[in-house]
Chains A and B, each alone.
Chain A
């Protein structure tokens, strides 16, 4: 791993406009906007795996998709290998997409049920590379074996596979172009414990084999911690803490990270232990609180928190936090 950023996100925001009534729109000039991602800056180094954690609705998947321009970011820039993705024409974008791929969460919804596995895995090659049929088949066979599927599986259809095997197909499809950067959006969340472990192990191996740079999105902190080098924590569309895995787990500085880590029931801990809990639920992203977004639930909120937005600042080298308490 070296320290040159492969991917750089600058002040990215992604807002979704909801339908508002005619009266709201034209008379009150009011619009319903969900600020799914607001003003995030982040860079991912070459060869690094960055874990992105947060609760449902915090905008982590939106961020992952906006990086690949599967959603158009509302504001901000994304650089890949010092080329600005956000300024690319569709044609240029196609060129860069072969270097950037995504693995989706739901292995049931992300595979076309009418296509055979071979067609599914081969499609990216057909789009991005001009190879002879023989070469193509060779590439397909090679990746199939590397993700742990058998050649006879290629003629079958998605419904004939279990969740874990489907996820292997999704991984094969993402890796057949030999990309440099992969967004993994909750790739193991839909799987059973023993199958989940198989896929985690496979991903750890493929990461080495293909020297991949990965953005690993999950709500399961132990899975993220196992695979990542660095972790970024999101809450309501903003980054609250970014640090190396070990540093983050041993020395969490943001109150949200602390609560999040404390809330995970640990296998070794027999019996209920007292924990600090957040009050209530995540506020609606339609109408997020002013100031620090956590202040409505934070156990240590003070006056300033409800008015000023804290900045993401580096307190220890490599450890960024956005909190007024520090």
Chain B
């Protein structure tokens, strides 16, 4: 798979927020390559920068936030230098994003059919030229594709008339209606119950195969990552600490933070296995220490960790940001 050129290449991306309390380095030097057809999982806790990284990709960073440096290459063009006008050809058409909270992401006062057709009218000139009927037909197709029962009769419903799982599906339908090359799903299932979560994730992976698109799933649920993604990126305090094939990251984690995360979740398969929490809290993103950012919480720390740690390639596919891993 890796012989192709990447679809998305995030290069040393830094997104900072200039707040009253100082400059918050939400994303600080992130590199991600995403290949066509690949499903990437991005894991991290709140404040790790996982959402900000991909809102940067979508060009949706608002003041006081700013992309300070780095590039976001998508199909050979640098999105970080795009104007909002140029973005209109990309956003919704080639890259689509679904947000965590489907109720606030959908407009409560616009009918579902209009919210889906809006994207088609904006981006799909072919279908637009065929007239209203064609747009409506396509909207119904999309709703059926994401498994909304009785789609024909629900076109004129408003978002509040749907359940949480159905709203998430509608958002996916909107995101997929222009057949994007890349779908970014930000916490697609956090607000959903497990049975609905399984339905939504199965749907995403089926559609991914059908449309041959790349998918990025941003989540804090390691179970979701291990089941649905090919490759996993672990983020901590604005940086990537580990990056590798999901199988390697989950079964053979290298970075102490990844190890700690995996040890802190109770396993249904082995109830007697005790959990071991990571002590302490994430460091302050304003006053970042000039050392490994995980230093104060790490149980393996040594004097060598008291300086800035660069991310390093491992023998296999992976990368890790830790001094303890042998060079």
Chain A contact residues, CB within 8 Å of chain B: 55-56, 162, 164, 192-198, 200-201, 219, 221-223, 225-226, 245-246, 249, 259-261, 263-273, 275, 277-278, 280-282
A260-B194, A281-B196 given; A271·B227 CB < 8 A: yes
Query: What sequence of 0s and 1s flags, for each residue 193-209 of chain B, a beta carbon within 8 Å of any chain A beta carbon?
Result: 11111110110010000
Contacts of B46 in A (CB 8 A): 192
State whether A197 touches B202 (Cβ < 8 A): no
Contact B281 A164 (CB under 8 A): yes
For residue A219, which residues in chain B have a CB less than 8 angstroms away from its CB?
193-194
Within 8 Å CB of A221, what residues of B? 194, 268
- Residue on A with the closest CB to B227? A265
Q: Which B-chain residue is minimally distant from A265 (CB atoms)?
A: B223
Asked if B265 and A193 make an inter-chain contact with CB atoms under 8 angstroms apart, the answer reads yes
Selected from A164, A192, A200, A271, the residue in CB contact (under 8 A) with B220 is A192
The residue in chain B whose Cβ has the minimal distance to the Cβ of A53 is: B194
Q: Is B325 interfacial (CB-CB < 8 Å)?
A: no
With the chains together, A269 CA to B250 CA distance in Å? 10
18 A–B pairs (Cβ distance < 8 Å), ordered by A: A193-B261, A195-B45, A195-B281, A197-B265, A200-B277, A249-B271, A263-B194, A263-B198, A264-B268, A266-B269, A269-B227, A270-B226, A270-B227, A270-B250, A272-B228, A273-B227, A281-B163, A282-B193
In the docked arrangement, what's the CA distance between A162 and B282, Å? 10
Question: Within the complex, what minimum Cβ distance (angstroms) separates A298 from chain B?
Answer: 12
Contact with A along B35-64 (1 / 0, CB 8 A): 000000000011000000000000000000
A56 to B192: give the CA distance in the assembly, Å.
Answer: 8
Tell me, rounded to whole Å, the shortest Cβ–Cβ distance linking A135 to chain B.
32
Closest to A269 in B: B227
> Counting CB contacts under 8 A, is B264 at the interface?
yes
User: B174-211: contact bitstring with A at CB < 8 Å (1 yes, 0 no)?
Assistant: 00000000000000000001111111011001000000
Interface SS of chain B: helix, strand, loop or mixed? helix
Give the docked Cα–Cα distance between A55 and B196 (Å): 10
Q: How far is the CB of A5 from chain B (nearest CB, A)?
A: 24
B202 cross-chain contacts in A, Cβ below 8 A: 272, 277
CB atoms of A265 and B224 under 8 A apart: yes
Q: Which residue of the partner chain B has the closest CB to A297?
A: B195
Report the minimum CB–CB distance from B4 to chain A (whole Å).
22
Closest to B164 in A: A56
| Chain A: CB-nearest residue to B268 | A222
State A281–B163 Cα separation when bound (angstroms): 8
A259 to B196, CA, bound (A): 11
**Which of B45, B195, B226 meets A194, CB within 8 Å?**
B45
How does the 8 Å CB contact mask read for B100-114 relative to A, with 1 for contact and 0 for none? 000000000000000
Q: Tally inter-chain residue pairs, CB-CB below 8 A.
A: 127
* One of B149, B201, B268 near A280 (C-beta < 8 A): B149
| Whole-angstrom CA separation of A194 from B48 in the bound complex | 13
Please indicate the chain B residues that have their CB under 8 angstroms from the CB of A259 in the complex: 195
- Give the Cβ gap from A50 to chain B, nearest Cβ, in Å: 16
Given A198-B279, A225-B271, also A266-B198 (CB < 8 A) = no
Do the beta carbons of A261 and B268 come within 8 Å of each other?
Answer: yes
Contact A223 B266 (CB under 8 A): yes
A226 touches B45 (CB 8 A): no
**Contact residue among A164, A226, A246 (Cβ-Cβ distance under 8 Å from B266):** A226
* Bound Cα distance from A293 to B149, whole angstroms: 20
Is the CB–CB distance between B264 and A193 below 8 Å?
A: yes
In the assembled complex, which residues on chain A have CB atoms less than 8 Å from the CB atom of B307? Answer: none
Cβ of B246 under 8 Å from chain A: yes
Interface status of B276 (Cβ within 8 A of chain A): yes
Q: What residues of chain A lie closer than 8 Å to B228, measured between beta carbons?
A: 265, 272
Query: What distance in Å separates the Cβ of B297 from its nearest Cβ neighbour in chain A?
Result: 8
- Would you call B165 an interface residue if the criterion is a C-beta within 8 Å of the partner chain's C-beta atoms? yes
Enumerate the 9 nearest inter-chain pairs by beta-carbon distance, A residue then B residue, closest first.
Answer: A197-B264, A265-B223, A197-B277, A226-B266, A55-B193, A192-B45, A194-B278, A198-B277, A263-B198
Q: Nearest Cβ distance between residue A161 and chain B, in whole angstroms?
A: 10
Across-interface contacts of B220 in A (CB, < 8 A): 192-193
Does A225 lie within 8 Å of B268, measured CB to CB? yes
Report the Cα distance A42→B250, complex, angstroms. Answer: 39
- Bound Cα distance A18, B164 (Å): 21
Q: Give the distance to chain B from A245, nearest Cβ to Cβ, in Å.
A: 7
How far in angstroms is the closest Cβ of chain B from A139? Answer: 27
Any A CB within 8 A of the CB of B222: yes
Query: Is the beta-carbon distance between B166 and A281 smaller than 8 angstroms?
Result: yes
Closest to A278 in B: B195
Query: Cα distance A281–B168 when bound, in Å?
Result: 13
Shortest distance between the CB of A214 and any CB in chain B (Å) = 16
B205 and A272 form a contact (CB under 8 A): yes
A196 with B271: CB separation less than 8 A: no
B193 contacts A266, CB within 8 Å? no
Known: A277-B199, A280-B149, A281-B196. A264 touches B223 (CB 8 A): yes
Identify the closest chain B residue to A223 (Cβ): B266
Chain A neighbourhood of B265, CB < 8 A: 193, 197, 222, 267
Q: Contact: B247 with A197, CB < 8 Å?
A: no
- Distance (whole angstroms) from the CB of A163 to the closest CB of chain B: 8
A200-B226 in contact (CB<8A): no
Given contacts A266-B223, A271-B227, contact A222 B251 (CB under 8 A): no
CB pair A201–B262 under 8 Å, yes or no, is: no
Any A CB within 8 A of the CB of B267: yes
Separation of A193 and B221 alpha carbons in the complex (Å)? 8
The interface residues of chain A lying within 8 Å CB-to-CB of B281 are 162, 164, 195
A263 contacts across to B, CB distance below 8 A: 194-195, 197-198
Contacts of A192 in B (CB 8 A): 45-46, 220
A residues within 8 A CB of B198? 263, 265, 275, 277
Write the chain A residue with the least CB distance to B195. Answer: A263
Asked whether B269 lies within 8 Å of A268 as measured between CB atoms, the reply is yes
Q: Is B6 an interface residue (CB 8 A)?
A: no
**Beta-carbon contact of B227 and A55 below 8 Å:** no
Distance in Å: Cβ of B38 to nearest Cβ of chain A: 14
